[in-house]
Amino acid sequence: MSKRLVVDPITRIEGHLRIEVVLDENNRVVDAYSSSTMWRGIETILKGRDARDCGLIAMRICGVCTGAHYWTSIKAVEHALGITPPTNARLVRNLIAGSLYLHDHVVHFYHLHALDWVDIVSALKADPYKAAKEAENYSENPWYNSPTQYKAIQERLKKFVESGRLGPFANAYWGNKSYKFTPEQNLIATAHYLEALEAQRWMAQMMAIYGGKNPHPQSIVVGGVTCVQDIKNPARASLFKELLLKSRDFVLRAYIPDIIMAGQVYKDEALNGVGAGLGNYLVYGDFPLDDNPHYKAKLLFSPGVVVNKDLTKVIPFDQSKITEDVTHSWYKYENTDKPLHPFDGQTNPNYTGFDENGLLKVNEKYSWIKSPIYDDIRVEVGPLARMIVGYASGNERIKNYVDKALKAAGLPLQALFSTVGRTAARAIETWMISDVMIEWIDQLASNSAKGNLDTWTKFDYDKLTKGKELKGYGLSEAPRGALGHWVRIVDGKVANYQAVVPSTWNAGPRDYKGRMGAYESSLVSNITLSNPDQPLEILRTVHSFDPCIACAVHVIDTKGREIAQYKIDPVSGGMCYV
């Protein structure tokens, strides 16, 4: 007899993601539904604004990858105006974005996802001497590897456990049969979890050097960047490179070895395709490597679409084939029930609630996230998509890093199509980004030393926009996946704005044909719970996407009441009426 299981909230970060699954009599997941329970309205706020201000407002979509929305929005306006930023601005933007990748991926693996694989309490049983020896199986020079170090970590953990307050390690399913690391392996990963707290600080500092602050960088403007003094100062470049090399060291000596260890221990899950999902992958492409105009430059991440895991064919990407459907979303479209391209997108809330048992009305509307569709195909976006599309495209840099990681773990390419593979792909691209950033910071420092301080492309906004209707799109690869902002500008003001974010692509509900989104599909991909009261396997697979629902939704009162009104006085400042 089947039964419904609810996991809510499932995220360890911003936003409220609710997962409902149907289990059969063997506790195998046979159906799944993904729902976001809050609404996003930033598109409505942007209407009527000066388009040059979009970036600063749009970055408030999220509190984590703020920068990704910032530069994607700026890019959309630049595309509408026909502006290409100069070399130094391209390099600075790549360095800021690269810093976000390092920070975001390290935080994701250790602080948002590792506890799905690592049994913290088991680490107390480990032999510190054996742990130090075990670490040498995955790295020639493991990060801070000594019995003394591991023993000190154990003492810290022991105090947590004896006090009955596990702090960040509370509310987990310690002892679950799906945990497979030995006590020594758990101790190694736990040590790196704690040391990653320091490492991620270096990466945040890197973003602040050229971005001005973290989160919410401030130095990117339509046409270029404003951090001229930082580019001129060689000490800033030296500090950036010092932090980058320290970060890269952590990635190579802790993160990558831990992923190789996980790949070997959880090998069966990878080979059996546990959590594989749709098998269709979409990449917009990003990190321009030359100064050609937007979408004409050579890119670090190859754009394209791979369907049905077929690595022999990459379909060219075309943004005009993107639509959003609201059949099962708490929205309504005026004058049509067909999916809409973002340039024509609408944001009209239509909340119809839960059923009488407090469950999702899965045959009706059940999420605040729309259902993005590419050329009438449901797709997955994110690091795994970037590695799959890059590999299939013959991107030599990506192929090299993927092959090295798989060889080290002793796994075939097919293993990538799994929850394990999705987690590994994020680490592989962190490794690659940390290497290529060295090239970018050296090039920026060289330009400055030669007196090239050009950081902005001059333009006349009024002349470009007065009496005209312009359209532009910003396409980026945020750490979580393909991120797109579409803007229509009339006489210099925003007439319509739509953002299709990574978590929308992956967390979207069923579409008008009843087809699943990426989260839903991954959960019906060979997942069986060892204990239905401890849905660890569900957490593991959904967390492998790095869900961050803040991008997809914003605040709403559950009873539909108005929360506040804001009136802005242009003379004396803002007033808030709550």
Query: Which residues participate in catalysis according to the annotation?
Result: 14, 62, 65, 69, 480, 503, 548, 551
One DSSP character per residue, 152-185 reads HHHHHHHHHHHHT--GGG-SS-TT-TT----HHH
* Nearest of 264, 302, 299 to residue 385 by alpha carbon: 302
- Whether residue 576 is annotated as binding a ligand: the answer is no
Peptide bond into 9 cis (omega under 30): yes
Rama region for 324: left / alpha / beta (φ>0; ψ in -120 to 50; rest)? beta
Torsion over CA: 423, 441, 72, 309 (sign): negative
* Nearest of 501, 499, 508, 510 to residue 480 by alpha carbon: 501
Backbone torsions φ then ψ of 476, nearest 5 degrees: -135, 170
CB distance 441 to 241 below 8 Å = yes
- Whether residue 54 is annotated as binding a ligand: the answer is no
CB distance 241 to 481 below 8 Å = no
Gap between the Cα atoms of 387 and 304, Å rounded: 11
Helix (H), strand (E) at residue 267: helix 267-271
H-only helix segments in 13-127: 42-46, 54-58, 66-81, 87-107
- Whether residue 65 is annotated as binding a ligand: the answer is yes
Spatial strand order of the sheet with 493-500 comes to 469-478, 481-490, 493-500
Helix (H), strand (E) at residue 249: helix 234-250
One DSSP character per residue, 353-406 reads ---TTS---TTS--BSS-EEEETTB--B-SHHHHHHHHHHHT-HHHHHHHHHHH
Q: Which single residue is written with the structure tokens 């050329």?
A: 375
b/e code 329-356 from CB counts within 10 Å (16+ = b): bbbebeeeeebbebbebbbeeeeeeeee
DSSP 95: H
CB distance 440 to 208 below 8 Å = no
Close Cβ partners of 291 (under 8 Å, ≥ 6 residues apart): 84, 86, 87, 90, 297
CA–centroid distance for 409 within its chain: 24
Gap between the Cα atoms of 224 and 220, Å rounded: 6
Gap between the Cα atoms of 479 and 221, Å rounded: 21
Q: CA 74 → CA 79, 174, 448, 560, distances in Å?
A: 9, 45, 24, 33
Gap between the Cα atoms of 488 and 495, Å rounded: 6
Compute the chain's Rg from CA coordinates.
24
- Whether residue 551 is annotated as binding a ligand: the answer is yes
DSSP 320: G
Q: Which segments are annotated as binding site?
A: 43, 62, 65, 548, 551, 554
Q: Which segments are annotated as binding site for Fe cation?
A: 65, 551
Q: Which segments are annotated as binding site for Mg(2+)?
A: 43, 62, 554
Q: Which segments are annotated as binding site for Ni(2+)?
A: 65, 548
